[in-house]
Amino acid sequence: MAIPKAGARTAAPSAGPGSPFAVLEGKKGRARILLLLLVLLLFTTVAAAVGVGAVPISPSELLRVLGLAPGSGSTADPVKEAIIFQLRLPRVVAATLVGASLAVAGAAFQALFRNPMADPYVIGVSSGASLGATLAMLLALDFRFLGIGAVPVLAFAAALVTVVLVYHLAKTGHVVSTFTLLLAGIAVGSFLSALVSLVVYFSGERLHQVVFWLMGGFGGANWSYVQVAVPYFVLGAGVIVFHARELNLLLLGEETAGYLGVEVERAKKLILAGATLLTATAVSTGGVIGFVGLVVPHAVRLIGGPDHRFLIPASALAGATLMVAADALARTVLAPTELPVGVITALAGGPFFLYVLRNRKKMRFFA
């Protein structure tokens, strides 16, 4: 029998023009441009955020103080220098880290669970952290660890303990079904949330502090927060960035990912650990800030597609930008009163999420 189409294979394969992968190259190029734009946007937002407040600081002043413009140092006003270095910059950098962490964790959880409603808090990180933090406040614990107060330390520890608990509840043999994980997370999460409510109920004159923490904010941020958060951020985000391909394949289903050579259980465990670390770091730094981790990955996906090699860094940049902007708004809208950042992100994120829901047909990412 004559084999059909045999002649079609003579053309030398290449990624040059006319290749089926030319489009992918184009896509990659567009993704790079988009990432570059997001970087610029982040820097602009950071500059604006550092600039706004009771004492306005112009971009040129900022550059001069940072030693990035000619004539640096000599003309800098020491008061402004203190405001920039001691007050605004640590706060902005903390917001950047938290925003990036939440968005990256959200993207990872959405792919891991193949569920568009997944956010960084789905498996109970937030309730665990909240319980730790509120207990620390109620008991007026007062110790410092690496220059960090008791509240974030307890929040971080409780978040990790919660996830480990949920993970073991969901585990059967060597296998952790993401579906069971999700259910166990929801169950443990609501149980811990009830405990948090109980603590809030008994918090008496500390009520304001507790509620404010629960809604999230960067009022207490200083350089030691940033110093402690950076290694965790680098570790967590690094693990997820290096699993971008695996996240893509997991979207095809765990079974298919396995057929393509992915050690699924190991990849799931590492991604889960990375995302949990990011979320715990974010929550202990800025409290429970909602919507960023849910909405940002969706928005980025709508613009740039589902490829995690793009989605993860782009979400990090967009999440950071959004958080810096939200924090700037939170402290300036009703200045000198400071609003919780969580209120701002929820006000902006809620309507956006409704938009996403109504247009989910266009987002074929999920069923």
What residues line the site for another protein (CB under 8 A)? 1, 3-6, 8-9, 13-15, 19-21, 23-24, 245, 248-249, 251-253, 255-256, 258-263, 301, 305-307, 363-367
CB-nearer residue toward another protein: 53 or 258: 258
Least Å distance, CB 60 to another protein, is 39
- Tokens representing 106 are 């959200």
Least Å distance, CB 365 to another protein, is 5
How crowded is residue 362: how many other Cβ atoms within 10 Å of its Cβ? 9
CA distances from 148 to 90, 131, 153, 341 (A): 14, 18, 7, 21
How crowded is residue 43: how many other Cβ atoms within 10 Å of its Cβ? 11
Instruction: Compute φ and ψ for 172, nearest 5 degrees.
Output: -130, 115
Instruction: Compute φ and ψ for 171, nearest 5 degrees.
Output: -85, 130
- Tokens representing 7 are 């002649």
Instruction: State the Cα–Cα distance between residues 179 and 258, nearest whole angstrom.
Output: 17
Least Å distance, CB 103 to another protein, is 19
Least Å distance, CB 1 to another protein, is 8
CB-nearer residue toward another protein: 219 or 258: 258
Least Å distance, CB 82 to another protein, is 42
- Tokens representing 222 are 């200083």
Rg of the Cα trace of the chain? 23
CB-nearer residue toward another protein: 17 or 20: 20
Name the residue with tokens 């050579």.
Answer: 261
Least Å distance, CB 349 to another protein, is 22
Q: Give 107's Cβ-side CA count (13 Å radius).
A: 35
CA distances from 338 to 51, 185, 200, 327, 330 (A): 17, 32, 21, 9, 6
Strand partners, 176: 171
Instruction: State the Cα–Cα distance between residues 58 and 79, nearest whole angstrom.
Output: 14
Instruction: State the Cα–Cα distance between residues 87 and 92, nearest whole angstrom.
Output: 9
Least Å distance, CB 250 to another protein, is 11
CB-nearer residue toward another protein: 69 or 175: 175
Contacts of 165 (CB under 8 A, 6+ apart): 188
Instruction: Compute φ and ψ for 145, nearest 5 degrees.
Output: -135, 115
Instruction: State the Cα–Cα distance between residues 96 and 321, nearest whole angstrom.
Output: 7
CB-nearer residue toward another protein: 153 or 311: 311
Q: How many helices (H) and strands (E) does the chain have?
A: 15, 2
CB-nearer residue toward another protein: 143 or 259: 259
CB-nearer residue toward another protein: 239 or 330: 239
Task: Using DSSP bridges, classify how beta strands 175-176 and 171-172 pair: parallel, antiparallel or unpaired.
Answer: antiparallel
CB-nearer residue toward another protein: 248 or 332: 248
Least Å distance, CB 167 to another protein, is 22
Least Å distance, CB 9 to another protein, is 6
Least Å distance, CB 116 to another protein, is 11
- Tokens representing 11 are 């053309």
CB-nearer residue toward another protein: 11 or 54: 11
CB-nearer residue toward another protein: 70 or 173: 173
